[in-house]
């Protein structure tokens, strides 16, 4: 099950779209690593990288929203904060499970679902506003 960004998820802001594409690529790498029984360390590294990249992306996205006086900024900030918290729970669950790959495979779908819903439901409005 490949996890792929598709054109219908385009926000219409090149910098944001590129970061979204990278997030999907990383989520897919994490899923594939879990599915293919890669080492616990590699999966842990991918989770940490996804966490750091997501935080940077949200920061960049929020800066862009400020620059265009986007009216939904506060709502976006809340959604971003909630996602970061969910990602932290995912990483903690993986760590405490002793690296249970099933945790990653199941939780990865949650990440992709969230990204897809967030992009199509909230982020597309940024492009429409710009």
pLDDT tens-digit series, residues 44-86: 777 788 888 889 999 999 999 999 999 999 999 999 999 899 8
Question: For the chain, how many residues are written?
Answer: 130
Virtual torsion, Cα 69, 17, 58, 122, nearest 10 deg: 60
CA 19 – CA 42 distance, rounded (Å): 22
Give pTM, 2 decimals.
0.80
pLDDT at 118: 84
Per-residue pLDDT at 39 exceeds 70? no
pLDDT at 9: 87
| Domain ranges, ordered by start, for the chain | 41-129
Better-predicted residue by pLDDT, 110 or 89: 89
The CATH fold of domain 41-129: 1.20.120
pLDDT at 1: 52
Per-residue pLDDT at 117 exceeds 80? yes
Can you say whether the dihedral through the CA atoms of 94, 96, 101, 107 is positive or negative? negative
């Amino acid at each position: 099950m490949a996890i792929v960004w598709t054109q219908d998820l385009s926000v219409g802001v090149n910098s944001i779209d590129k970061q979204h594409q990278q997030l999907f690529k990383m989520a897919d790498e994490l899923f594939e690593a879990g599915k293919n029984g890669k080492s616990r360390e590699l999966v842990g590294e991918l989770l940490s990288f996804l966490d750091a990249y997501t935080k940077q992306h949200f920061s960049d996205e929020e800066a862009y929203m400020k620059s265009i006086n986007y009216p939904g900024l506060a709502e976006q900030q809340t959604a971003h904060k909630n996602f970061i918290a969910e990602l932290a729970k995912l990483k903690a669950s993986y760590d405490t499970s002793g690296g249970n790959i099933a945790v990653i495979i199941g939780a990865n779908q949650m990440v992709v679902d969230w990204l897809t819903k967030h992009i199509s439901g909230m982020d597309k409005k940024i492009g429409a506003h710009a």
